[in-house]
Structure 1
């Protein structure tokens, strides 16, 4: 397999000099997953708190008391003082290698660092401290994209750590790609307390004295009665391509690339499967309000073949979720609900705001265009939204919202 892989790399450069006539149908476009990696020393140095720095790629957003935490994908977390929402201020950066998620309870922040779970005491925002590190408790925490080719041979060396994948489109010789596929096939035969609030894209969720962290296949369960010293409990296998987690009452709602899975946490240390709602392959966050689950599906590219849209699923019978209505969207990511208002981050199409009083007839009440919308948190007094390295805050009006402030994180 190795010789075929490196031959493919050389063919890419050769092809660049070919004309359309020379192509003669021998080449095709393939989705190629290229490794994103960091040095082993950088991974082992996770937990440092440094002065504010420009963001590289904004990820998920989390709100706790008067502070906002914005993930810098695979790098760490930006800490923002939001006592005055009209003038938020960056105050620190927590370096966490491979980080994509956090959750907070009673001034203890839990963060993933690839396989490890880190615990920070954030009671004093001017003196944040790493107080614990649980090693190798998140076994399948790297997010795997859908691609035709994975550049396995170039993934890491002994001095590097894989944190994720970047997917690009490349033109490859079809015959050589087929040979590589054949080699692969042969080789494979052998809460009520003081917790914060995350968006719909979250993979961490605190419910009372338990932290639930989903990876690609499992629900990782931690007892956090002792906030500084979490107890790692047995993982619960939940399927494939798990992406997000949402909680309502005694149920967890997991979004995956193939459907929504519902788990009962009446016994909090052992979530039990209740039911599932299947859809075509797509990236899939979910939020729940009343008798309905709202699921955004982002198709195309690395997320699958399903057309992008909003699925509204009737969960009044929790053991038998049923699709009620489907609405088209362009390329949605996170979503949130405040009362009868539904907020959808529709990627490059901006933030869309709907009146969901009648789920069969959603009414668009606002559309903020010319922005990139990624993740959103509807708070009691204002709406938080992040996208394209900018933190937006909106003020609720009687039947609408208006922009309150924007903070460029660069």
Structure 2
């Protein structure tokens, strides 16, 4: 089936979803969760085949980690759908409103986008997350995963579509596009009028391609070259804990720290400790000469290192002379995702927050907290690094647009 035909079917399904009650949508989400659990063995079997093919193809450790599913991860996907069912329904929410001086009643309410296309790489858990958050927000979804996860995604979507149908909603609310041909991506990016918005999730190359080539409106989700800056006024024990968590808690996520900046005043006390901790954790440090002075294990850093989202056991590091220098470094190399400062100075924290341009700024907290679940949104479709419509973790409200409803009593304009 062509992408155009699938998009038409999605449009028809979206028309039904737009008027579905919360009770029906939440019932579908719970049925989807139950289906994932019930069909775990076949999903794991499909994922094992994807992993074997990925190893043979030479996929990196980070990509294999993103690709891997097991019963625990599938249970987590199911739990995410159940948690989504417990969240408020954004559709119909009144954003603002009131009575105008002429007596007209004006309300701005949330409405679904309609059809949402998701283009993503290697992470089959995104398949369930995206299907759930789109359905809850009243949108039909076209899922275009990567060829590396084709078996896993096929098994997951088969389970989800059966559950959606059993719940009384159209199966075409959730559709998987062909992942074996690049033509499906091109067709999806050209389906303006059938697809309302595209959301790319993946590496810089994928995101750039979709942003530059799509005729469908795009919400840009972010590459995460995230920094942690250890200020002159930092508690160094606190700084060590934050830096290690930000880098090592999970290597393959966009909110993982990829660069460490240390104020020169605390570098002699802090760098030996953090470099030793990184060595113990198996993290390679790509550092400036000032950083390398504290360890022979430091690899000399280049501009490319400072620009890189590693998604691996690597981190760039530099010593800076001031908070101004730290902000300048972040402005040059950062991607607008998440930046963090560790400091006991309220003035330094305020200055950093005011001057750093990012979707999320952390004060004395790990970059790993930039996440819809951690923010209490219950779910996210991605983390937007753009400035229009949505920025940061995109929860249910960000998967809606709005319309104005104006109610009068025979009003005419003079």
TM-score by length of 2: 0.24
TM-score by length of 1: 0.24
